[in-house]
Structure 1
Amino acid sequence: MKRSQVNQIMRESDEFIRSFGYIMPPFAYWSPAEMQARKAEIANIIDAGLGWDISDYGLGNFAETGLFLFTVRNGNVDDLKKGTGMLYAEKAMISRENQYSPMHRHNLKAEDIINRGGGTLVIELFGDTDGKCDRSKGTVVHTDGIRRELEPGHKLRLAPGESVTLMPNEHWHAFWGEGGDVFIGEVSTVNDDNTDNVFEDPRISRFSGIEEDEEPLHLLVSDYPKWLG
């Protein structure tokens, strides 16, 4: 992705999210220079991977296959082993109309996916067999606490205010917006995007490469190693 495209997506996404009365934390709006100047204060932001995250899944067509994310809070994976501490995470996401987020599952993360507003969120679901997406296998989910048995490939449609709980190593899922862009909330156990996403298509990568055609408006989480060490 070109940095100019990333910068424009940031502007558009912030405006869209604000239209629902949701405002991201102050550090979201810091410049790269301010983040560098305050590096000693923000070890938790860096280590937890908090911040902007825009991906075309390595396929080079964000409008067709992509996702906007902002990680608002995130705990430590080591706390999961201890069973105590900050065991949760929260993200704000945008799935644009007909913009596909590819079929995947998680190794550790259980998540509630919430339609916060906009269009309908469509989630396609399959079961798992031996760690692989089994397109002949249905699944069981809970939507706002209600148990639902779904056929293989069921396309679950969530209207604004509705949510679904997805479990690790159990629910293979892909999603997109229908009838408009969708503001999505994600509440989950601790999240590690470097290791916890398993994609059905081996070509998929979680993070995008960046072509630097202009200065960054704000840093992406994937920029932190280069810019902040």
Structure 2
Amino acid sequence: MKRSQINYTIDKAHAIAGTLRLCLPDFAFFTADIWRRQELGEWREVLELALGWDITDFGSGDFSHTGLTLLTLRNGKVGSGHYPKTYAEKMLQIQQDQQTPWHFHHHKMEDIVNRGGGDLCMQLAWATPEALYDNKRKVEVSVDGRARTFRPGETLVLKPGQGVCLPPRLYHRFWAEKSFVLGWEISMVNDDTNDNYFLEPGGRFPAIDEDVAAKWLLCSEYARLNQI
């Protein structure tokens, strides 16, 4: 992704949050310049747990079609005395017709919620022991406490206000229809470095073309703070 596109996407995410009167934590407003002026020790939890903005095209090179805008609001770290939280929370902004590709998590259970906008469409299928797509086993999930059963790859449509619980090793892909979707993720501790498995080759974090200066730092770039 181009740095200019990342800068624009986070600017746009702020504008959308403002339009929806959605209040975000202080660190969501820290530009690279503001980060440079902070006493970083005070923000150790944000830095070490990678809270903050996460813009990805999943290695597609086509963010408008395959990509996602996330803001990690809180997280923990398994086995850490410093960060004993057993849960995580993320804001998701999904543009119309923008998809997140097939993937599952080895350990994380998560609820994905449509907080408003268009329809959040999702396809589900179990992973086999070899991490392949199981096209035979039916999928049973809880949608707001209601037991639902789907054929592998059948589309679940979450209307605004609806959410689904996704257990570990359940492949899922999702996209927004009719309009932009404000999504929310409530989950067990999140580990994007080690707990994501994608059905097709790609990448969780984007390669960045530094065509302009970084206005915002992604949560995967905090090591740059000693360099800017």
Short-chain TM bin: over 0.9
Report what 2:221 is aligned to. Answer: 223
Task: Describe the shift of the 1:228–1:24 C-alpha distance in structure 2 as closer, same or farther (beyond 3 A).
Answer: farther
Shift of 1:135: 2.4
Report what 2:66 is aligned to. Answer: 65
Report what 2:54 is aligned to. Answer: 53
Q: Within 1, Cα distance between the matches of 2:31 and 2:173?
A: 33
Report what 2:95 is aligned to. Answer: 96
CA contact (8 A) 1:125 1:138 kept: no
Report what 2:153 is aligned to. Answer: 153
CA contact (8 A) 1:46 1:224 kept: yes
Alignment partner of 2:147: what SS?
A: strand
Mark the runs of 5 or more structure 1 residues left unpaired by the alignment: none
| Number of equivalences | 224
Q: Over aligned residue pairs, what C-alpha RMSD do you find?
A: 1.6
Aligned partner letter, 1:114: V
User: Any idea what the Cα deviations from partners look like across 1:141-161, whole Å, max 9, x if unmatched?
Assistant: 000011111111110000110
Report what 1:188 is aligned to. Answer: 187
Report what 1:129 is aligned to. Answer: 128
Alignment partner of 1:174: what SS?
A: strand
Shift of 1:228: 4.6
Report what 2:176 is aligned to. Answer: 177
Q: Within 2, Cα distance between the matches of 1:17 and 1:159?
A: 19
Structure 1 residues 84-93 or 97-106, which shifts more? 84-93
Q: Within 2, Cα distance between the matches of 1:117 and 1:192?
A: 26
Q: Percent identity?
A: 38
User: Any idea what the Cα deviations from partners look like across 1:23-72, whole Å, max 9, x if unmatched?
Assistant: 21111111213223321211110111100000001111000110000000
Q: Which runs of 4+ in 1 moved over 3 A?
A: none
Aligned partner letter, 2:23: I
Q: Within 1, Cα distance between the matches of 2:157 and 2:51?
A: 29
Report the TM-score when normalising by structure 1: 0.93
Report the TM-score when normalising by structure 2: 0.93
CA contact (8 A) 1:88 1:190 kept: yes
Q: Within 2, Cα distance between the matches of 1:57 and 1:109?
A: 19
Aligned partner letter, 1:206: R
Report what 1:117 is aligned to. Answer: 116
Shift of 1:2: 0.8
Report what 2:210 is aligned to. Answer: 212
Aligned partner letter, 1:173: H
Mark the runs of 5 or more structure 2 residues left unpaired by the alignment: none
Shift of 1:11: 1.1
CA contact (8 A) 2:33 2:215 kept: no
Shift of 1:17: 2.5
Report what 2:22 is aligned to. Answer: 22
User: Any idea what the Cα deviations from partners look like across 1:82-115, whole Å, max 9, x if unmatched?
Assistant: 9x93100000011111111000000111101000
Q: Within 1, Cα distance between the matches of 2:37 and 2:115?
A: 34
Alignment partner of 1:129: what SS?
A: coil
Alignment partner of 1:42: what SS?
A: helix
